[in-house]
Structure 1
Amino acid sequence: MQRIILIIIGWLAVALATLGVVLPLLPTTPFLLLAAWCFARSSPRFHHWLLYRSWFGSYLRYWQKYRAMPPGAKPKAIAVIVVTFAVSLYLVDLLWVRVLLLTILSGLLIFMWRIPVVDEKQQKP
């Protein structure tokens, strides 16, 4: 029963992570890490799929191996964050919601800026 619950939670986390790619207030990374954790404890097949077949796999493998992002991923992630928040700020008319979005954007950018990036020396065996 526990295995089935972990698989369900893992797939819900994958779905939420996928939505988080385009929705500015929904984080992607924590849901991916949760899915990897659930699948590692419940289904080797789904865990392998997540790490080697899914769109997010390379990022998860880098995180597991180096505790860092692959080269070039950070600027892309920051660009996506800024663009999605810019669209949200453009569409929202309420001042307090704009202030909230700008606060969240600031926090996300600070968080992203602090995540390390794998350099050339680390990647070599």
Structure 2
Amino acid sequence: MRPPRRLRWAWWLLAYASLGLGLLGMFLPVLPTVPFILLAAFAAARGSQRLHHRLLADPRFGPMIRDWQAGRTIRRRAKWMATWTMFASTLVLVAVVLATGSGRWWVVALPVACMAAVATWLWRRPEPPGGDG
């Protein structure tokens, strides 16, 4: 479904901004990659067919996007990678709070609670049929 021509620029902008954040998330453990790439694909389908086709053809992102579009599924390998990244982020948060001696437990508790909620949602998602490939 194509949006009206006057709104296509907003979808295009959202697609490229999300893609940029997703690419940053590959290097920054506190920034998630998968949700931003999925959002980029969603917005690109409405604002930039060229970007949408490039994302689907990409060897890293294409399978993840196709799995999501086909049945809202997430591969087990992606679940494990996300879980270990969140765990590493938690360790970094705890180390920073302990190193600074701030004693502000909520600085750790709030992001850890968010990551726990994301991990719970993530592991409740079905996996695609036919293995993890």
Normalising by structure 1, report the TM-score.
0.79
Number of aligned residue pairs? 121
Q: Which has the larger radius of gyration?
A: 2
After superposition, the CA RMSD in angstroms is: 2.3
Give yes or no for contact 2:12–2:44 (8 Å, CA) kept in 1. yes
Distance 1:54 1:18, change over 3 A: farther
Does the CA contact (< 8 Å) of 1:4 and 1:42 recur in 2?
A: yes
Q: Extract unaligned runs of 5+ from structure 1.
A: none
Spell out, residue by residue over 1:23-65, the C-alpha distance to the aligned partner (whole angstroms, 9 max, x if none): 42x4433322321122111221110111112632221111112
Structure-to-structure mapping, 1:36-115, within 5 angstroms: 36-53=41-58, 55-93=60-98, 94-115=104-125
* Identical pairs, percent: 31
- Distance in 1 (CA, whole Å) between partners of 2:67 and 2:97 is 36
Matched residue, 1:32: 37
Runs of 4+ in 1 over 4 A off after TM superposition: none
Unaligned runs of 5+ in 2: 1-5, 99-103
| Conserved 8 A contact 1:16-1:28 | yes
Give the TM-score normalised by structure 2.
Answer: 0.75
